[in-house]
Structures are given as C-alpha cells and as structure tokens.
Amino acid sequence: LRTLALHHIAAAALITFAGCNKGKDAEPDPTPSDLPVGAVPQLPLACPAGTPELGAAGGQHLDQRPLTWTWDDTAQLAWSGPHYAQLTEDLIGLAATADAGSAPTAFGLFVMDGRTVVDHTGKTSWDGAPTVAPADSAGDSWGTGDTGGAPYAFPGFYLAPTFHGPELAATIALPLNEATRPTPGCLAMVVISEDPAVFDEPGTLSLLSKRSPPTAHKVDLNLIVIEGTTLSEESLDDTVEVMRRLYDEGGALQLDEVRRYTLTLPDGAFMRATGPVVNAMRATLPEGASESAVNVYFIEDFIRSGGTLGFSAGVPGPFGVPHTVSSGVVLSVDAHRVGSGRLDTDVLGSTLAHEVGHQLGLFHTSEAEGQGFDVLDDTPECTADPFDRDADGFVTAEECYTRDGRNFMFWTSGYFRQERLSPDQADMLNRSATAH
C-alpha cells in the first residue's frame, strides 16, 4: 500500500478482514455431519517415499494441485494437506500460493527440510522460538475486524520473517533474506481456512519454483488500463521508464516484456479498494496476456479511500499465479495528479515500483508506526523513538529522510522523490521466483 495521507491502513489486513467478515456474516457455521471431519495435522511432517522433485531444472515451473478440505471441529477451521514436494539443491526461489477464491486462507504449517517456516498450529516461529498467545486471545478467531493484527486463534500470524497471515490467495515466498533461502529436502505444507466457503470453492495450491536461473534477471509486466481511465500512451511510457530506471539503478530486475492492454469492466474505472469489483478485476486477464507476468491494473480512482495511491494484493502477492482474486496490483491514476491536474508520472512510476516490489516479496522498510521493519539488514529502520519527532504516532518520509524515507519501499510517499533500493532488496527481487 502507498498513501499520500497519514491515515494508513495495512492493505493486506484491510482485504483480509473485509473478505473474512463478509464470509462469516453470510455463511452459517458448518455442521460437522455435513463435512469430512478430522484433526488438523501436527508436526513433525515427513515426505513420503517417492515424493517428486519440485520444478524443472534450468528455469521456472508452476506446479498446481487441487485443495481438498477437512473440518477440525475443535480448532474450528478447515484444513488441507499435508502437501509435499521435494526441494532440490539448485532451487533459487520458491513461492507457494493457496487460493480458495473469495475465502481467506493461510499456511498453517510450512516446513522446509525439517525447519519450521510458519507454524500456526504448533505455535513456534522460524527459529523454533515459541510465539506464545496472550491468554485472553485463546478463544478469538480470525476476522474480528481488528486491523491491529491481533488477537487471533493462531499465534504467529504476521510475525517476522514471513509476516504471514490469512489472505485471499495467501502466498509465502522465499527467500526473504540471506537466512531464509530455500533449503533442499522435504517441503511440507498444511493450508488452513476459517471460512467454510472453502467446501464450496475448494481452490488450488500453486508452487512456483525457479531453479538455476540465467544470470540475467528479468520480469514481465502486463499493464492493464481499465476503460474510462485517463492515461495517455505517453504518460504510461514515462511511468514505466521511471520504474525501469529505479530498478536498474538499484541493481534489480530488468523489465523484459512489457505489454499493454485495455479492459472494459461493467462498473467502470472507479472502484472500492476491497470487495467483489476489485476482486473480479484482478482475476481477469485480457485476451492474449501472459499468465506469468506481473499484472498492473490502472484505474481512474478508488472510492472511499482518500489518498490511496495504489496497493498490492498481499505481501507478497500470488507469484506468477493468474486468475486469482489477488493476481495483480492496482494503481489510481487520479491520486497521482497534482493541483493543476497534471499527472505526476515520477510519483506514479515510483508507486508502480513500490507495488510491484510488494507483489514480488518486498516489505516496507519501516511501517507507519515506526515499530515494524523488513527483515533485510541493509535497509535502515526508522524507529518511532527518536524519529517520530512530532509524536503523532507515525513516522513520515520527511521524519525518516536520513534513514529509509528515500527508499521506494518506505510505507508512505513524501515531498521528495523516493528512488532508493538497497543491495539486499535488489538481491531479493532478483531471486524472486517470478523473475526469469
């Protein structure tokens, strides 16, 4: 998410809770007699003999399998798995996406070569350290409408390094930093969802892998302009050139095939940031568009989201997985006009770089309150103490000018250009499974 204003709301949380609350209101609780019932699997998990290797040597590969669900009546959640894959020595980047349409999902267990990446059932973090739930949150569930990120039934959501939690088309992508490179061996996953809608809309587990890539790192973009959006060819050129320069100068991905499309939607070019209209748009690819490119939707403006420049669908968004309700980033053209009505393509290009960065796995270098940070060592942290100088609860780009305020993955825009990208950020983009 990137905003001009200070009333920041985490995009991922916003989307998750809106979807989840809606589902909860609309769906009656399932009755166990209607559904396959059983306890959610627990650690340890080991690949059965003969589990096939993931991916294809020398390049990218997308492996997709159906999700089938079982209801755990004690935990009050649906689960699918364990799903297994054998990871090879030459694996550079990996992204796993659990998509169940409009039902939020999460990886309940994600275990790589015996190493627990996330455990939302066993309550341990990446390092194996316990992530103990506050006692008073034990009975709470997802989607309470509290966008503060807690409490949840499953401690461990939204913790470093994955910051993973329930999402539409929830994705875990590795590596996130030097310490989180995929390691060869057994990958075991259990997908969970609290939304019983998964029994009607079972979904897909997508595993995008990149093995021994060529030395050049490239990414493809589909630029999809919604009919009714005022955006000239020339402005779009300028915008893409800004992003190309920022990634180039930062030593990150080259933009390879950048294709343009227009898409006509029944509701036009204005939409809310969450809900069925934006979800349907992101699940739609124009005819002939590449299914492995990053999709960027340009709309005229968001409704009821003043100051929102754009947002990605989750951090990361579904890597290289088309046709999910989260398969793309959305940018408001109108939010990038200056007082005279002129489109500021410098800022639009920087927002494009920012949102595609999220979709490929980069987090904000510092979050709004100056208390959350990415897991990269070489991006400075702008801590509330001492940088929130006016003590309004937010660290602005201006307050963080000498830290990471000039990085284009800072949480909000500033009154100056944000053009920086660190070597670690560039390295993560280059390793991204979406890059080829």
What residue ranges bind Ca ion (CB under 5 A)? 374, 376, 379, 388, 390, 392, 394
404 is in the binding site of which of Zn ion, Ca ion, none (Cβ under 5 to 8 A by kind)? none
The candidate with the shortest Cα–Cα distance to 247, out of 223, 222, 219, is 219
Residue written as token pair 């305020």 = 405
Tell the smallest beta-carbon distance from residue 393 to Ca ion (Å). Answer: 7
390 is in the binding site of which of Zn ion, Ca ion, none (Cβ under 5 to 8 A by kind)? Ca ion
Residue 152: both structure tokens together = 């949840």
Residue written as token pair 């343009």 = 260
388 is in the binding site of which of Zn ion, Ca ion, none (Cβ under 5 to 8 A by kind)? Ca ion
99 is in the binding site of which of Zn ion, Ca ion, none (Cβ under 5 to 8 A by kind)? none
Tell the smallest beta-carbon distance from residue 10 to Ca ion (Å). Answer: 18
Query: How far apart, in whole angstroms, are the C-alpha atoms of residue 398 and residue 402?
Result: 9
Complex with Ca ion: residue 194 or 404, whichever CB lies closer: 404
392 is in the binding site of which of Zn ion, Ca ion, none (Cβ under 5 to 8 A by kind)? Ca ion
Distances (CA, A) of 34 to 22, 71, 200: 22, 10, 12
CB nearest Zn ion: which residue? 1
Complex with Zn ion: residue 1 or 426, whichever CB lies closer: 1
Return the H-helix or E-strand segment holding 26: helix 11-26
Complex with Ca ion: residue 89 or 385, whichever CB lies closer: 385
Neighbours of 86 (CB within 10 A): 15
Q: Which residues pair with 234 in a beta bridge?
A: none
Query: How far apart, in whole angstroms, are the C-alpha atoms of residue 207 and residue 217?
Result: 20
Tell the smallest beta-carbon distance from residue 175 to Ca ion (Å). Answer: 15
Indicate whether 153 belongs to the interface with Zn ion (CB under 5 A). no
Query: How far apart, in whole angstroms, are the C-alpha atoms of residue 315 and residue 10?
Result: 10
Residue 101 contacts by C-beta under 8 Å, 6 or more apart in sequence?
A: 197, 201, 203, 325
1 is in the binding site of which of Zn ion, Ca ion, none (Cβ under 5 to 8 A by kind)? Zn ion
**Between residue 1 and residue 60, which ones bind Zn ion under the rule CB under 5 A?**
1-2
Tell the smallest beta-carbon distance from residue 406 to Ca ion (Å). Answer: 14
Tell the smallest beta-carbon distance from residue 372 to Zn ion (Å). Answer: 12
DSSP 8-state symbol, 309: E
DSSP 8-state symbol, 17: H
DSSP 8-state symbol, 30: P
Tell the smallest beta-carbon distance from residue 331 to Zn ion (Å). Answer: 12
Complex with Zn ion: residue 2 or 211, whichever CB lies closer: 2
The candidate with the shortest Cα–Cα distance to 10, out of 383, 308, 334, is 308
Complex with Zn ion: residue 1 or 293, whichever CB lies closer: 1
420 is in the binding site of which of Zn ion, Ca ion, none (Cβ under 5 to 8 A by kind)? none
Complex with Zn ion: residue 1 or 169, whichever CB lies closer: 1
Tell the smallest beta-carbon distance from residue 372 to Ca ion (Å). Answer: 10
Helix (H, G, I), strand (E, B) or coil at 196: helix
